[in-house]
Structure 1
Amino acid sequence: MPYPLPCVIFAGGKSSRMGRDKALLPFGDYDTLAEYQYRRLAPLFASVHLSTKADKFPFDAPLILDAFDTYAPTAGLLAAFEALGGDFFALSVDTPFADERVFGLLFEAYERGGADAVVARSPSGSHPMCGIYTQNLYPALRAMADAGRHRLGYLLKNAKTRFVDFDDESLFFNMNTPAEYDSARAAR
């Protein structure tokens, strides 16, 4: 049974360290990393959406267009809240190894209630783009955007954030550079 929350794959970043749009790089058996993530997550969640600045994908998927001028996760979160009107699971497109074990433990922590955000954490630190965000955060996000503030860390520090600890660092491997992309493709 899928988790009763929508999942939003964040695929609207600049990919400046990669040198090209990482969401559009081939991965696994798919033409793009975005499609790889979409296809593997679709059976696990009530719905799956791609957060992006433009319709750039060579496959059909529900899009949440982030029309903000800034490239920041907070802009995508705000667009997702406005499009979905409720709580959702967030995952960065470039984190292909977060799996059902991660989603399950995050969802259990979310179901306990009392948190505005539930975020994965490993020995290297927190992973804010692997977590569950509740509608309680919308007013603070809206105020931050109106004030030109876009630091996700600031939002989480000033919210009721529950961290879920994981020992396995590889679950949160993030592809930001060509070398990291090559390493992830080899591990896949």
Structure 2
Amino acid sequence: MSLYTMPCVIFAGGKSSRMGKDKAFLPFGGCDSLIQFQVQRLKKIFANVYISAKDKTKFSGIDALVIEDILHPEISAPTTGFINIFKQLKTKDSFFILSVDTPLVDEKTISKLLEVSTSEYEAIILRTHSGIHPLCGIYTRALEEPIKMMMQKGDHKLRKLLASANVYYVDINEENLLSNLNTPQEYEKAVQNLEK
């Protein structure tokens, strides 16, 4: 199977406050860290995998280019990552994003998102019964200016951005695929689910 040419960006710039430690570096799926697990599996799907993070030195041992958030190091929100991604990937019109703490999103689900044409929509986002998942989907350059305008107002809510954008939602029933690893209990549950 040929690899997708659309860039893939793993968001790993969160605070991990509920976990008590940086979840990107917890061991997972036979890898030394969750970020390593995500990079390895996503490189089997995408030709170019990047990491969006606050401090690139933390990821020096990981085989992926880091898009560092040097413009807004004091703000912990995905919107700041987007600004740096648009700047770094200036020749690309769209990119796929996935949060580091959703390791159960499988290739089949990712392919469903990538099958939708980005020429007709500003974003293509995964949706389950519990709602939308802004950190699992495709964003296009059409949203660069709206994100900048939101940030100027101090607004960092992706759901608000998507509510006023032309979005295609891909619906799936497998809620467990979108399990976030925010707490030690959720992490242990995800480890067990992966072993099944």
Q: TM-score normalized by structure 2?
A: 0.92
Cα-to-partner distance string for 1:50-106 (whole Å, 9 max, x where unaligned)? 000002123232000012121111111221111112210000000001111111110
CA–CA separation in structure 1 for the residues paired with 2:193 and 2:123: 30
Structure 2 counterparts to residues 50-69 of structure 1, below 5 A: 50-55=51-56, 56-57=58-59, 58-67=61-70, 68=72, 69=74
CA–CA separation in structure 1 for the residues paired with 2:34 and 2:118: 32
1:98 is aligned to 105
Cα-to-partner distance string for 1:139-162 (whole Å, 9 max, x where unaligned)? 111112222211111111111111
- Aligned residue for 1:28, secondary structure, equals coil
Give yes or no for contact 2:39–2:63 (8 Å, CA) kept in 1. Answer: no
CA–CA separation in structure 2 for the residues paired with 1:72 and 1:112: 24
CA–CA separation in structure 2 for the residues paired with 1:154 and 1:78: 17
Match of 1:151 among 152, 157, 164: 157
Offset at residue 112 of structure 1 (A): 6.0
1:6 is aligned to 7
2:17 is aligned to 16
1:31 is aligned to 32
- Aligned residue for 2:132, secondary structure, equals strand
Cα-to-partner distance string for 1:127-150 (whole Å, 9 max, x where unaligned)? 110000001000111112222211
2:75 is aligned to 70
1:138 is aligned to 144
CA–CA separation in structure 1 for the residues paired with 2:108 and 2:119: 19
- Aligned residue for 1:5, secondary structure, equals coil
1:89 is aligned to 96
2:193 is aligned to 187
CA–CA separation in structure 1 for the residues paired with 2:79 and 2:126: 17
AA partner of residue 81 (structure 1): F
Offset at residue 30 of structure 1 (A): 1.0
Identity rate of aligned residues, in percent?
Answer: 46
Whether 1:120 aligns to 2:126 is yes
- Aligned residue for 1:13, secondary structure, equals coil
Structure 2: which 5+ runs fail to align? none
AA partner of residue 60 (structure 1): D
Match of 2:84 among 73, 79, 84: 79
Structure 1: which 5+ runs fail to align? none
- Aligned residue for 2:6, secondary structure, equals strand
CA–CA separation in structure 1 for the residues paired with 2:89 and 2:176: 30
1:173 is aligned to 179
* Compared CA separation, residues 60 and 112, structure 1 to 2 (3 A): closer
Cα-to-partner distance string for 1:22-60 (whole Å, 9 max, x where unaligned)? 001111111110010000001211200000000212323
